[in-house]
Each structure stands twice: as structure tokens, then as C-alpha cells.
Amino acid sequence: MIQPPLLKPGDKIFIVSPSRTIQETQIKEAIDIFKKWGLQVELGRHVYDSFGYFAGTDEQRLADLQKGMDDIEIKAIFC
């Protein structure tokens, strides 16, 4: 099994919402904890979008996830 390296201070992480819509208050504590650990937090462009029950259209949610996978500086993606 291939295991990625452990996260360390200064690493960039990416938060996306590939399913339901979320509010800023729902992930604020997680963002604060990640920053306290010294991680750089980047949010997907459509994290807080709403399209019915979902966090944006299929294309928007896919674009956020794809951005996280394509960016070589991002060390982890959190959903």
C-alpha cells in the first residue's frame, strides 16, 4: 500500500464540498484547527454555493475537486 507523507506545518490543504451545500459556520472550527496546526487552508471556489441540495452544479463541484487534484502544491484534500 502506498501511503502519502504526513502533513507538516506550511503544507497547503484544500477543502471542497463535492456533495451537499454547507455553511461557513459548519466548517469554521475545522479551518481554525488546520490553521492552528500551521497548515495553509484553501477553499474550493464553490464550497459555499447552493444548487438545490448540492454545493453547486455537477460541473462546479467537479471543477473544485479537479483543481485540488491538479495543484501540485496541495498536499491533502478534505471533503
Residue 2 has pLDDT above 90, yes or no: no
For residue 75, the surrounding DSSP H or E stretch is strand 74-78
Q: Mean pLDDT throughout 6-26?
A: 95
Among residues 74, 76, 79, which one has the least CA distance to residue 3?
A: 76
Residue 9 has pLDDT above 90, yes or no: yes
pLDDT digits (tens, 9 = 90+) for 21-72: 999 999 999 999 999 999 999 999 999 999 999 999 999 999 999 999 999 9
The Cα–Cα gap between 48 and 3 comes to: 30
For residue 69, the surrounding DSSP H or E stretch is helix 58-70
Q: Mean pLDDT throughout 70-77?
A: 96
> Options 3.40.50.10740, 3.40.640.10, 3.40.50.970, 2.40.160.40; which CATH number does 12-78 get?
3.40.50.10740
**Residue-range domain boundaries for the chain:** 12-78
